[in-house]
Chain A
């Protein structure tokens, strides 16, 4: 029986237009953020010039780098690439299933809901409402909206699969399924938090646990939001555009399963040489190396599909964009494993090399795949010709030059800064350069990066114009198609149980289970587990060699049953996270810490910390001294300072280990209590230094590119909600003494007054408010955000020493290793 169906191309057109519009916004914000690193005036002072003095001020809080950078990343990831992915998914899924999307209502809710989320992100981030976890900054009410809309998208997608008139699932759909289930899992776990108000919450995990969960999410957001859906799009649009068969089906299979299984384990490579347990660092590194081949399999399948269609490269901009995009995918997925090697990472991490790496993925792979897809789709969605091929070609070349300028300048900047930071004076006992000197050295490269980004933006604006003119010249007509209806009894006949009781599944599950036991079991038992793992692998290989047909037939049948297939994908992606995160949640508690344990923040310091988080300071300042000589020499040279221990940030909700140092590390900024005071501390630098520095960073650190923060001096700190926040902290396990609400607020006010008094005594004043008397000034400061922030700065890194050894534990392979190599301590601790 056949039927005439009309595809829902309206939704595709909507998502595509939204992607282009948000892409422009996201890239403009990106260029602004890039220029801020070269010229601090771009944090607001430039508005004085372009508004002819209508705006007056040293900076504008809404566009300081710390707030704008998250806006840029969220806009390009979720608004630009997100909408582009949805356009590609809605277009290709309907055609691969030979049926219209299941529900027009759900499609509309998905579209408008997603745009609403983007708009609310664009409002909340600049006003300083943030969770501070990278690419997970949005506040909790928006998080819930994202989950709801994602469920709407997933329901619509799977419902369409259920209604399909195509028996078997094409590769693109495998990748879309993996995207939908994995993003749901990652997003929910990393956004678990406890609200303290409508706009603020603390994450459920703190310190090392929060770092681990965050980078499990952060890395796999790149994997499953910026990679797998784009691969699905590649598998559909490249063979379409090239009119060539896909290079190799078996490569698709291996590529897919290896990618979804291995990717998840690689998250800890964002935390190499930090206080993260060593075994997790090693897993992160080794699984990243194992990702190289599967990633390149994707590149091969993309590029070699173009074999035989290379002549189109001269004439068709679509093929040009796709070929270069896939090449950048290959380059970025080679660079990724390289940067995950601990030795390489010790140089590259916290520098611009990482920034260059993500942009070769974002601009090259995502951006050019998007452009190729737009140029291919536009004539088909509006039933016309592309308005200008030569303009598209110009977009290609200016975009490519832009990427190359961007990536090359970031490579040089990253390596230069990494080497300079490690360079010592003769004798090797002291470092040669101050941090700010390295920053001045790479400023020219920052300018080249801004130029590269601007080129890319110009190219993208031309693309928008070209697509707009194409749409105007054509007519929005939906495709129709004659399809043979597929009876319900001909698809989805395999039960879940049947799909699991198969050799490939059984052997995979057993081998992975024993591999995990090998990681975790004590000495000797682990070797037995390893032996079993290897035997299982050998047995599986021999079974496959003997009769590969049963395995391939099983897989072909699995592709005709979308639910069991989805369940298997879910297992494959879930396992890595479970193995890495659950042990850490169970083991890394305050009772198990050795050497050092963080001293909880006073109420005022907690308020200061929340201001630090809200201003996005973590975008440029880490709080993690790695176990590396240049780090320890620069940030913690004395034995009581040293590298950062796990216990020192255990009560940090969220953690502030950071991922990039545009400014120096802050882990040892704090210090001891001032003699005679119960609360006021003085660290590496004095209160007055911080006071001067926040007002004008260049006064204390000539050459600094930090934004000035004069607005912190006349906005009030929030003492009223502190009791609620402290109650949440207590609930999360921070050992606060019992305090009444009044006592909490009073404590914050007392400490703020003490700091303000000290500042005024030392001669501090607010340059544009010299008319204030000392008492008035003291009162104003005691209520201000800047004093709370100073209190926090003076506290960072304060710890109490512990004399407690970690006991060997099954969930802690490092303690097992130590127990085997170290003589047992003579006396046991009494704790």
Chain B
């Protein structure tokens, strides 16, 4: 404000730019009256109009889908992408390829190990033995099966390993002490499942190489 506007006593300002000093004084506090800035009125009325417009568009004209409709469609698209990616991966995979190509490639195995360390250690342990060392010679048993003991409850072919990771403990099976594995195919892409399978094969290479 470069120059002070003229101030007149009164009740309410009548026009823009006018400054009225109200008569009443409360404990020494005085009040001006001034008209409201245009930009402020614009925000105020804009929000009011938006309120009426938005409700009319949604409820009267039925514009935009309901949340349930929208999310169902989006998830259907994702489900399709998922099954397509799985199909493509399955076309590339077989028992031999997993052992001789995937498990033999150190880069793939390293990727698989990364995935394992991020997702699997809570149940199968860092050393795949389903135990967690808590110091003092104690180790806590983990919910998962040992992956180094040569026993493969749900099939010992490389593709069985891929499938069990992808789909989880088969429905109707009791699980290991009641513990069931979730379908990791829902969480990680098929390529990571394959890498993970390769990692597990590489850790049991002698066993799988005989097949």
In the complex, which of the residues B35, B48, B134, B188 contacts A430, with contact meaning CB atoms closer than 8 Å?
A: B188
The residue on B at minimum CB distance from A688 is B143
In the complex, which of the residues B11, B37, B140, B189 contacts A692, with contact meaning CB atoms closer than 8 Å?
A: B140
The residue on B at minimum CB distance from A238 is B29
Those of B128-143 within 8 Å (CB) of chain A: 132, 134, 138, 140-143
Question: Main secondary structure on chain A at its contact with chain B?
Answer: helix
Q: What residues of B have a CB within 8 angstroms of the CB of A816 in the complex?
A: 59
Encode A688-704 as 1/0 by CB contact (under 8 A) with B: 11001100100111100
Stretch from A115-123, A364-372, A411-419, A763-771 forming part of the interface with B: A763-771
Q: What residues of A have a CB within 8 angstroms of the CB of B40 in the complex?
A: 293, 296-297, 300
A245 x B32 contact (CB < 8 A): yes
CA distance A418 to B171 in the complex (A): 34
In the complex, which of the residues A278, A425, A764 contacts B66, with contact meaning CB atoms closer than 8 Å?
A: A278
- What is the CB-to-nearest-CB distance from A104 to chain B, in angstroms, rounded to a whole number? 21
Q: What residues of A have a CB within 8 angstroms of the CB of B118 in the complex?
A: 434, 437
B29 x A286 contact (CB < 8 A): no
The residue on B at minimum CB distance from A92 is B27
Known interface pairs A250-B35, A425-B189, A701-B122; A627-B75 also in contact (CB < 8 Å): no
Known interface pairs A170-B26, A627-B70, A629-B71; A686-B143 also in contact (CB < 8 Å): yes
B24 within 8 A of A: yes
CA distance A595 to B28 in the complex (A): 64
The residue on B at minimum CB distance from A701 is B122
CA distance A296 to B47 in the complex (A): 13
Encode B82-105 as 1/0 by CB contact (under 8 A) with A: 100100000000000000000000
A689 x B29 contact (CB < 8 A): no
Question: Which residue, of B27, B118, B189, has the highest number of chain A Cβ atoms within 10 A?
Answer: B27
A293 x B67 contact (CB < 8 A): no
Interface size on B, residues (CB 8 A): 71
A817 x B180 contact (CB < 8 A): no
CA distance A718 to B107 in the complex (A): 54
B194 within 8 A of A: no
B33 x A248 contact (CB < 8 A): yes
B34 within 8 A of A: yes
B75 x A248 contact (CB < 8 A): no
A543 within 8 A of B: no
Those of A524-574 within 8 Å (CB) of chain B: 526-527, 530, 548, 552
CA distance A633 to B186 in the complex (A): 8
In the complex, which of the residues A279, A296, A632, A758 contacts B59, with contact meaning CB atoms closer than 8 Å?
A: A279
CA distance A639 to B74 in the complex (A): 12
A758 x B178 contact (CB < 8 A): yes
A240 within 8 A of B: yes
A652 within 8 A of B: no
In the complex, which of the residues A245, A308, A429 contacts B78, with contact meaning CB atoms closer than 8 Å?
A: A429
CA distance A638 to B71 in the complex (A): 13
Q: What residues of B have a CB within 8 angstroms of the CB of A66 in the complex?
A: none
A251 within 8 A of B: yes
B32 x A247 contact (CB < 8 A): yes
Known interface pairs A307-B1, A685-B143; A627-B29 also in contact (CB < 8 Å): no
Q: What residues of B have a CB within 8 angstroms of the CB of A92 in the complex?
A: 27
B29 x A643 contact (CB < 8 A): no
A294 x B141 contact (CB < 8 A): no
B142 x A692 contact (CB < 8 A): yes
Q: What residues of B have a CB within 8 angstroms of the CB of A307 in the complex?
A: 1
A767 x B140 contact (CB < 8 A): yes
A247 x B34 contact (CB < 8 A): yes
Q: What residues of B have a CB within 8 angstroms of the CB of A818 in the complex?
A: 66
Q: What residues of A have a CB within 8 angstroms of the CB of B186 in the complex?
A: 430, 637-638
Known interface pairs A292-B43, A689-B179, A820-B62; A248-B34 also in contact (CB < 8 Å): yes
B141 x A428 contact (CB < 8 A): no
Q: What residues of B have a CB within 8 angstroms of the CB of A247 in the complex?
A: 32, 34
A632 x B55 contact (CB < 8 A): no
B175 x A287 contact (CB < 8 A): no
Encode B140-165 as 1/0 by CB contact (under 8 A) with A: 11110000000000000000000000
A250 x B29 contact (CB < 8 A): no
Q: What residues of A have a CB within 8 angstroms of the CB of B132 in the complex?
A: 692, 699
Q: What residues of A have a CB within 8 angstroms of the CB of B43 in the complex?
A: 292-293, 296
A246 x B32 contact (CB < 8 A): yes
B54 within 8 A of A: yes
Q: What residues of B have a CB within 8 angstroms of the CB of A293 in the complex?
A: 40, 43-44, 47
The residue on B at minimum CB distance from A689 is B143
A762 x B143 contact (CB < 8 A): yes
Encode A291-318 as 1/0 by CB contact (under 8 A) with B: 0111011001000000110000000000
A286 x B50 contact (CB < 8 A): yes
The residue on A at minimum CB distance from B29 is A239
A273 within 8 A of B: yes
The residue on A at minimum CB distance from B22 is A249
Q: What residues of A have a CB within 8 angstroms of the CB of B2 in the complex?
A: none
CA distance A435 to B30 in the complex (A): 56
The residue on A at minimum CB distance from B37 is A300
B119 within 8 A of A: yes
A670 within 8 A of B: no
B67 x A292 contact (CB < 8 A): no
A430 x B187 contact (CB < 8 A): yes
Known interface pairs A248-B32, A250-B36, A767-B134; A629-B75 also in contact (CB < 8 Å): yes
CA distance A240 to B29 in the complex (A): 7
Q: What residues of A have a CB within 8 angstroms of the CB of B38 in the complex?
A: none
Those of B8-45 within 8 Å (CB) of chain A: 11-13, 21-22, 24, 26-37, 40, 43-44
A700 x B122 contact (CB < 8 A): yes
- What is the CB-to-nearest-CB distance from A686 to chain B, in angstroms, rounded to a whole number? 3
A619 within 8 A of B: no
A282 x B55 contact (CB < 8 A): yes
A240 x B11 contact (CB < 8 A): no
A251 x B36 contact (CB < 8 A): yes
CA distance A628 to B70 in the complex (A): 9
Q: What residues of A have a CB within 8 angstroms of the CB of B175 in the complex?
A: 682, 686
Q: What residues of B have a CB within 8 angstroms of the CB of A428 in the complex?
A: 78, 81
- What is the CB-to-nearest-CB distance from B159 to chain A, in angstroms, rounded to a whole number? 21
Q: Pick the 4 closest A-B CB pairs, nearest first.
A: A686-B179, A763-B141, A293-B44, A245-B30
Q: Can you give 30 A-B contacts (C-beta < 8 A)?
A: A168-B24, A170-B27, A246-B30, A248-B35, A250-B33, A250-B35, A250-B36, A251-B36, A286-B55, A292-B43, A292-B47, A294-B44, A297-B36, A429-B78, A429-B81, A430-B187, A434-B118, A526-B59, A548-B12, A633-B75, A639-B75, A684-B182, A686-B178, A688-B177, A689-B123, A692-B140, A696-B134, A758-B177, A763-B177, A821-B62
A interface with B by C-beta (< 8 Å): 92, 95-96, 98, 166, 168, 170-171, 236, 239-240, 245-252, 254, 258, 273, 278-279, 282, 286-287, 289-290, 292-294, 296-297, 300, 307-308, 425-431, 434, 437, 518-519, 526-527, 530, 548, 552, 627-629, 632-633, 637-639, 642-643, 674-675, 680, 682, 684-689, 692-693, 696, 699-702, 758, 761-765, 767, 770, 813-814, 816-818, 820-821
B interface with A by C-beta (< 8 Å): 1, 4, 11-13, 21-22, 24, 26-37, 40, 43-44, 47-48, 50-52, 54-56, 58-60, 62, 66-68, 70-71, 74-75, 78, 81-82, 85, 118-119, 121-123, 132, 134, 138, 140-143, 174-175, 177-180, 182-183, 186-189, 192
Using A297-B36, A518-B55 as known contacts, list a sample of 10 further A-B pairs with CB atoms less than 8 Å apart, ordered by residue number in A: A254-B36, A273-B67, A307-B1, A633-B78, A682-B178, A686-B123, A686-B177, A688-B142, A696-B134, A762-B178
